[in-house]
Structure 1
Amino acid sequence: MKYLHTMVRVRDLDASLKFYCDLLGLVETRRIDRPEGKYTLVFVAPPGGGAGEEVELTFNYEDEGDLGEARNFGHLAYAVDNIYDTCQRMMDAGVTINRPPRDGYMAFVRSPDNISVELLQAGEALPPQEPWASMPNTGKW
């Protein structure tokens, strides 16, 4: 058996690509457009990543109604080189930091489709610093 990828449904492909690629730092690895099936699949992964590290963003052309918060899914998790820089870049772009990296190690954010994304500092935790150390949790994560 071999793990292949994780799939999440997205409502706005452009907003999702901005979140996953521009803000989170993933890269598009492949795209499958199926107009006859009324959907597009976009696979994203960390730079240099491939199968087993991909997230499949599934965009259905027809409105599927409320997708809910996908809380039964859990979350995606990524190690980042600098958790403070990553969170600042996301916050500057309007992303709410649901669980700030108060400990210099872990944070949670949400995608435009309410997918919870855990960010973990690669290696050792960074020393706590402001404004992160004093920030409260916001919303669900």
Structure 2
Amino acid sequence: MRLLHTMLRVGNLERSIDFYTNVLGMQLLRQKDYPDGKFTLAFLGYGPESETCVLELTYNWGVDHYDLGNGFGHIAIEVDDVYKAVEAIRARGGKIIREAGPMNAGTTIIAFVEDPDGYQIELLGPRS
């Protein structure tokens, strides 16, 4: 078994694809409209679906926002240097909601970014 993807519902597919590709550096791997179901799926990631876990963005036609609730936590992305990643994301227009620094109860350096729909993305350095 392996983890295939995580799905997020988005209110504006083009805006979300722009964020994940141009701000976070993912690639749009595939996209397909489903007219009978009135939705579009887009799959993005840092490598092919056959090798890595990817992100599925679901746009339900005519729905422009969702209540995120309090059950979902975040998506985590490994970066080479959290401090440099934060500055690069900020320079590309990304919203930093927690600056890079040690986590609350430890020494691991983390930061948090927010996507256009309010989903949180944690940035972590490589594991030693």
What are the within-5 Å matches in structure 2 for residues 86-97 of structure 1? Answer: 86-97=85-96
Question: Is 2:11 aligned against 1:11?
Answer: yes
Cα shift at 1:39:
0.8
Q: Give the count of matched residue pairs.
A: 122
Instruction: Output the CA distance in 2 between the equivalents of 1:111 and 1:94.
Output: 11
For the residue of structure 2 that corresponds to 1:71, the secondary structure is coil
CA RMSD of aligned residues (A): 2.0
- TM-score w.r.t. length of structure 2: 0.82
Question: Is 2:119 aligned against 1:120?
Answer: no
> Is the 8 Å Cα contact of residues 16 and 116 (structure 2) preserved in structure 1?
yes
- CA-to-aligned-CA distance 1:93-128 (integer Å, 9 cap, x gap): 33321111124821011110111100111246xxxx
| Number of the residue aligned with 2:112 | 108
Instruction: Output the CA distance in 2 between the equivalents of 1:56 and 1:78.
Output: 15
| Number of the residue aligned with 1:136 | none
For the residue of structure 2 that corresponds to 1:90, the secondary structure is helix
For the residue of structure 2 that corresponds to 1:44, the secondary structure is strand
Instruction: Output the CA distance in 1 between the equivalents of 2:93 and 2:70.
Output: 22
What runs of 5+ residues in structure 2 fail to find an aligned partner?
103-107
| Number of the residue aligned with 1:60 | 60
- Name the one with the larger strand percent: 2
For the residue of structure 1 that corresponds to 2:36, the secondary structure is coil
> Is the 8 Å Cα contact of residues 24 and 90 (structure 1) preserved in structure 2?
yes
Change (3 A) 1:22 1:70: farther
Instruction: Output the CA distance in 2 between the equivalents of 1:49 and 1:77.
Output: 18
Cα shift at 1:28:
1.3
